[in-house]
Structures are given as C-alpha cells and as structure tokens.
Amino acid sequence: MAMSEVDDRRVQMVRRFNQIFEATPTRLTRAPGRVNLIGEHTDYNEGFVLPAAIDRAAWIVARLRDDRQLRVHAIHYDASAELNLDQLQPGQVHGWPAYIAGMADYLQQAGHALRGADLLIDGDVPEGAGLSSSAALEVATGATLLSLAGIELDRIGLAQAGQQTEHNYIHVNSGIMDQLISAVGKQHHALLIDCRDYSAQPIPLRPDAQLVVCNSKVSRELAGSGYNTRRAECDEAVQLLQAVLPAIKTLRDVSPEQLAQHADLLPPVILKRARHVVSENARVLASAAALRGGDLVRFGALMNEAHRSYRDDFEASVPPIEVLVSAALSVGGVYGSRLTGGGWGGCTVSLVDGGAVERFSSTVATMFEHEIGYTPDIYACVASEGVSVTPLEGGTGR
C-alpha cells in the first residue's frame, strides 16, 4: 500500500474514532492478510509452508481506558461490542467479537498484563476468501493490546494466541501459518516456515513476476467446511502408520517412500489425504529452492502439481475454482495457478509474468463470467511486511 493510502486510512479512522469514542486514538496498527504460494494443510501436520504477507490488511486505531473494558467498533459491520478483560472465556462471545476476546484471553493467560482500551477496526482483506482476514484481525488485535500496555511485541506469542483463539473461540482446528506470516512477513519475500519450530527463512520473489489473486466469491466458513474433517483424517493416518513407524509424530515425519511402502495400512480415503500432505511438504521445499534460484518455470510447475493434489487427493476444490485455474493456465505468461487457502472456495493464486497481468485479468474475468455467471475479484498482490504498530500524534500518550 502506498504511503498516501496509509495516510488517508489513518485520517479517516482517526476521524471516525473521534466520532464514536469522543477521544483521540494513540496507536495505529496494521496486520496483513496472506496468500499461501504453496503448502496447504501441511501446517497443522508440523510441515512446511511458503506464504507471503500481502498489501491488504486489518487496521486498528486505539487508546487506553481507565477500566478493564474493551470497547470495540467494527467499521465493516457498523457494529460494536464491549468485553471485560476479567470475564473472558470461550463460548460466551460469538461472531467477530470472539476474535478480540480470544486474543485478549490468551495473551493474558500467557502472562501479559493487558489494560482496557477503545478499539476501532477496519480492513480490506476479503472475508471467506482464503486470504486470512481472521488471522490479520487476531494479530492486529494482539499487537495493539500489547503496545497499549507497554509490553514488547512478541510475534511468535501473537501467532500462538491467534491459533488458540481459532481452536477454542472459533472452533477451527487450524495450524499456525496464517497468524505467523501476518506477524513476521517480509516485504518482497515469501517465507519458508517450518511449522514445527516456527523458524522462517525469507525467499526472494523476482520483481519481474507478479502474484495475482482471483477471488471466486465462493465464501467458505472453515468451521462448517471440510477443514476439521481433513485434520481428523490426517490424524487417523498418523495413528495407523505408527504401528510400523512408531517414531512419527505427524505426517511431517513420513517420507513419500515410507507412505508408498505402507499404503496398505490405510483405507483408500485416508491414504489420499496422507498422500497430499506428504507430497505437499516435498513440493514446498522444492518450490523454495526453485525461487532461490530464480527458476519461475519450475516453481509454476510445482504450483500446478500442488493444485492437482489438493483437488484430487484432498478433494478441497469446487467448480468455480476449477474454472479460475483453467482460465489462468490458458493465458500466455502464466507460470502456474492453484487454489490457495483452507479450501472449498475462496481464491486462486497465479504467478504471472509482469507484462501479462492486464491480459491475464481480462481473460480470466471474461472466461469466469461466461462459465459461472458473474465476475471474480482480481487483484495483483505485493509481498509486504508483517504487523506494525505506530504511535499517533495528537493523542494523550495513553
């Protein structure tokens, strides 16, 4: 996002905060959404992922209060909520305020002495599109509350609190990738993240190629999709394989050769799920190597292979997504295209030669509208920095 756009958003949000809370905010927080280049459903299997933070984000302006209340207003919903920091527990808050409550709850459980605050929330990460609008909100909330309380930003702790929020307040058994990339993203880079130890290696993205996201507008709520079912199926595969591979903890520990050798231990559906995760881990590592070497053709081929695995073995695609991928691959200058995110809708990500982006956008939009009946949202993404908190001038300093 250009600096002028940041300034415009800051001015607009400060003005709205003044109107709602009759006070001046002292903090501006930005936490990005993300696009996952490759590595789906590998994170909760303690495997490897290759996401990039993007130039769409959750934004919060905030100030301290003198009591233990969190007063929150969400511009997108034009709705408010009030939470007590001493009365937070899963099951008592629903909808978007649950993300706020969960982050405050788990940061406090981690030993952080939070303080009451007024928060105004906005953002431009599309919801239900597989670009992690929820993780961006979680990370932005946590970073804001820590900053207001004078506590040093703990990026790994933020990601862990976000994952706990998803598990216990939102009831999605997610991995940690989405929150981690929102917290530690690096401009002009993807990050190769090891979801076992949370280590992250920056992988440069060539400036002559563009990441283009196509939103099918098929919204999927992960709690109601096949997400939790797939996680259970991966766990079942591990339990069955432990009979002959007792040292394994997750599918991360299983090689393609081991899975092939012991395939007879798994029911057909469970074998397919395991085959996707095991092969996907190998693809992520190969993709990082390809990008390090500037080999976009190899990287694109791995994207395409990953999509076929996600569609056929994990069965997480839907017809509008298939139209987007097929349309993308019909355009010259496209290296690869695949479903990104949790599955069952949302977005595709394509790697497109910089000179072909305009042609790509018009061709994909036309083909999708012809097949599906409406136009998708298409936007080129720039890899961005992770969460940041900026003091605002003119506040009371609180």
Q: How many domains does the chain have?
A: 2
189 pLDDT higher than 80: yes
Check: CB of residue 238 under 8 Å from CB of residue 249: yes
Predicted structure pTM score: 0.88
pLDDT at 4: 66
pLDDT at 3: 60
132 pLDDT higher than 90: no
Q: What's the token pair of residue 1? A: 């996002």
Tokens 């809370």 appear where? 21
Residues with catalytic function = 178
pLDDT at 1: 53
Could you give the angle at the alpha carbon of 2 between the alpha carbons of 161 and 358, nearest 5°? 105
Rounded Cα gap, residues 211 and 255, in angstroms? 30
- Between residues 395 and 369, the one the model is more confident about: 369
Q: Is the dihedral of CA 363, 364, 368, 374 positive or negative?
A: negative
Residue 7 banded pLDDT, cuts 50, 70, 90: confident
pLDDT tens profile 35-57: 999 999 999 999 999 999 999 99
Q: Are residues 76 and 153 in the same domain?
A: yes
- Between residues 304 and 131, the one the model is more confident about: 304
Q: Are residues 126 and 251 in the same domain?
A: no
Check: CB of residue 336 under 8 Å from CB of residue 328: no
224 pLDDT higher than 70: no
Tokens 């440069």 appear where? 204
pLDDT at 397: 43
pLDDT at 281: 98
Rounded Cα gap, residues 51 and 195, in angstroms? 12
Q: Which CATH number fits the domain that encloses residue 266?
A: 3.30.70.890
pLDDT tens profile 262-292: 999 999 999 999 999 999 999 999 999 999 9
Strand stretches in the chain, DSSP E:
27-38, 48-64, 69-74, 79-84, 117-123, 189-194, 200-204, 209-215, 334-340, 347-353, 377-381, 388-391
pLDDT at 130: 72
Could you tell me the residue range of the domain that residue 37 belongs to?
3-202+385-391
Q: Are residues 100 and 162 in the same domain?
A: yes
